[in-house]
């Protein structure tokens, strides 16, 4: 049975999202990415922020709630069934199944709402990758791929 164009777009988009999420998380560091999700305002024992200046720069200088959700989504992409397969929807509580199932739609919505300009530039080919840091470009690419996956998922059988 032939794969439909929407299924192909979805598969390519989630692959790009997984790779971009991995590049972002590995470049800023897994512990920094986890800190963004867990508590971006946390301080170390000396009272200094746990997030580095470089990590904060990826998020425009401060971490918003949408940044935290999108970074959690990056972990879902990386660890989920389309990434490393470390977590799956099967046998999980309903909330975990729903997070995995609706990750493309949620991240796509965040991409459109909070990063519409960047996502639009990437999808139209106008994004200036040379002007962005590697981490920021990977973050924006993950969100753009999530938008494409979300749109394609609405047309899948």
pLDDT-based confidence at residue 2 (cuts at 50, 70, 90):
low
pLDDT attached to residue 142: 95
pLDDT attached to residue 88: 77
Separation CA 157–CA 154 (nearest Å): 9
Average pLDDT over residues 70-96: 86
Separation CA 66–CA 108 (nearest Å): 12
Burial 110-120 (b: 16+ CB within 10 A, else e): bbbebbeebbe
pLDDT attached to residue 81: 83
pLDDT-based confidence at residue 71 (cuts at 50, 70, 90):
very high
Give the CB-side neighbour count of residue 98, counting CA atoms within 13 A: 3
Structure token digits, residue 8: 């192909």
Report, in angstroms and rounded to the nearest whole number, the Rg of the chain calculated over CA atoms: 16
Average pLDDT over residues 52-68: 93
pLDDT attached to residue 141: 96
| 62, 56 Cβ separation under 8 angstroms | yes
| 89, 81 Cβ separation under 8 angstroms | yes
Separation CA 110–CA 73 (nearest Å): 10
Residue of higher predicted confidence among 156 and 110: 110
| 102, 150 Cβ separation under 8 angstroms | no
pLDDT-based confidence at residue 89 (cuts at 50, 70, 90):
confident
pLDDT attached to residue 119: 95
Judge whether residue 157 has pLDDT over 60. no
pLDDT-based confidence at residue 20 (cuts at 50, 70, 90):
very high
pLDDT-based confidence at residue 139 (cuts at 50, 70, 90):
very high
So where are the chain's domains?
5-153
pLDDT-based confidence at residue 99 (cuts at 50, 70, 90):
confident
Separation CA 125–CA 119 (nearest Å): 10
């Amino acid at each position: 049975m032939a794969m439909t164009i929407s299924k192909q777009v979805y598969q390519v988009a989630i692959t790009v999202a997984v790779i971009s999420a991995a590049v972002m998380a590995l470049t800023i560091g897994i512990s920094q990415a986890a800190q963004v999700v867990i508590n971006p305002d946390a301080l170390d024992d000396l009272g200094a922020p746990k997030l580095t200046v470089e990590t904060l720069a990826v998020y425009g200088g401060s971490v918003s709630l949408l940044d935290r959700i999108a970074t959690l989504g990056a972990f879902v992409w990386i660890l989920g069934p389309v990434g490393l397969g470390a977590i799956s929807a099967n046998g999980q509580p309903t909330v975990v199944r729903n997070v995995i199932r609706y990750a493309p739609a949620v991240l796509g919505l965040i991409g459109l709402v909070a990063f519409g300009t960047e996502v639009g530039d990437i999808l139209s080919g106008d994004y200036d990758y040379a002007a962005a840091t590697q981490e920021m470009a990977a973050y924006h690419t993950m969100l753009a791929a999530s938008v494409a996956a979300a749109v394609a998922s609405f047309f899948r059988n």
